[in-house]
Structure 1
Amino acid sequence: MAWLKRGKPRDTNALHAALRHGTWEDFQGAYQPEHVNYDGYSGDTLLTLALAHNDSALRVKIATRLLDDGADVTKEHPLHVLVGRNEHDFDAEAGLLQRMLDLGADINEVLPGFGTPLETAAAKFKFSDKSLTPFYDVLLARPDIDLVQPGLDGRPVLINLRKWYAKRGELVERVEALLIERGVPLPDPTK
């Protein structure tokens, strides 16, 4: 029966469509667990396609299934894809964010033009700090988050957040308090 195993999904177009905007039934019809880490989509994985799904409830459901099946969280910037969406169910997606971090997604990955996952979320000015709090809670609870590393445009993450203080004041205050609590010197605010 091993000859029945396929190296790639039977219908990659149907799978792609199901992951981005299909129904749960579309996904189930096009997906096989042995293809969970199929890499035939340039710049995307099945997980990142699911994380970009138009419907946040299906985004969570499909991505959860892929994670259950062993999706690789280290390829193609899944944290950035999730937090960078324009529509969210923040409470449901915070659990997904936590799970990807627990599975090894890089909280400090810097994506050119977007910065770290925290910067990517904070740059979504259509959302208030209050709306983004479930994401902030997950990200800032991580002991491995580096808030003074170079981020967007090579500046320290905190410096970038400070530039957005008018819209991200609550976040800046949380980050500064966290750094003080951890004994990390705050970057010079004039830089």
Structure 2
Amino acid sequence: MSADGDRINVLHALWGRARDRDPEAEAALIARLLDGGADINLRSPRFGLPLTMLVTDISASREYMRAAFAAVTAHSRPDLTAHVDRRRQANVGQYLAENMFGFMHDEVYAYAAASGQDIDVIS
């Protein structure tokens, strides 16, 4: 975690800018980072939650989004009910399920159900 008050971790850094991405290689990296203690639920005052950055900040391909989500859910327990902004109008699960015309809707709702999270509720 950073010491400068932004409260960022390696996942914020990984998803903090757009660039060419290798879905398979980065999924393996994400798994190692999470296994090593990176917090998928760490909210940065400046950048928000890592999964929100994945959806909004990096212009990821569908293949990358699916690979990253699979790695995240296999190696951590993301809080899909966490609000994405101060207005609390949407949560992480809703962002993921409805991004890019909802192509990940089924995967997100299946994970939410399996992990006991109601993504129609915003925490």
TM-score by length of 1: 0.50
Aligned to 1:123: 56
Match of 1:86 among 3, 11, 18: 18
Does structure 1 residue 148 correspond to structure 2 residue 105? no
Deviation at 1:79, TM superposition (A): 0.5
Q: 1:40-68 deviations in whole A, cap 9, x for unaligned?
A: xx85xxxxxxxxxxxxxxxxxxxxxxxxx
Note the 1:176-191 alignment, pairs <5 A.
176-187=109-120
**Max Rg structure:** 1
Is the CA contact (8 Å cut-off) linking 1:94 and 1:135 kept in structure 2? Answer: yes
For the aligned residue pairs, the C-alpha RMSD in angstroms reads 2.9
CA distance in 2, matches of 1:168, 1:109: 27
SS at match of 1:152: coil
How many residues matched? 116
- Structure 1 residues 182, 90: closer, same or farther in 2, change over 3 A? same
Q: 1:152-182 deviations in whole A, cap 9, x for unaligned?
A: 33632223445xx251512333211111122
Aligned to 2:72: 139
Q: 1:114-157 deviations in whole A, cap 9, x for unaligned?
A: 33211111114632322322211111223421111233336322
- What percent of counterpart residues are identical? 29
SS at match of 2:104: helix
CA distance in 1, matches of 2:94, 2:65: 19
CA distance in 2, matches of 1:188, 1:145: 15
CA distance in 2, matches of 1:125, 1:85: 5
Counterpart amino acid of residue 92 in structure 2? V
SS at match of 1:167: helix
- Name the one with the larger helix percent: 1
User: Which stretches in structure 2 are left out of the alignment for 5+ residues?
Assistant: none
Bigger CA drift: 139-148 or 151-160?
A: 151-160
Aligned to 1:77: 9
TM-score by length of 2: 0.72
Counterpart amino acid of residue 18 in structure 2? N
SS at match of 1:153: coil
Is the CA contact (8 Å cut-off) linking 1:107 and 1:145 kept in structure 2? Answer: yes
Match of 1:158 among 79, 93, 116: 93
CA distance in 1, matches of 2:101, 2:45: 21
Q: 1:7-31 deviations in whole A, cap 9, x for unaligned?
A: xxxxxxxxxxxxxxxxxxxxxxxxx
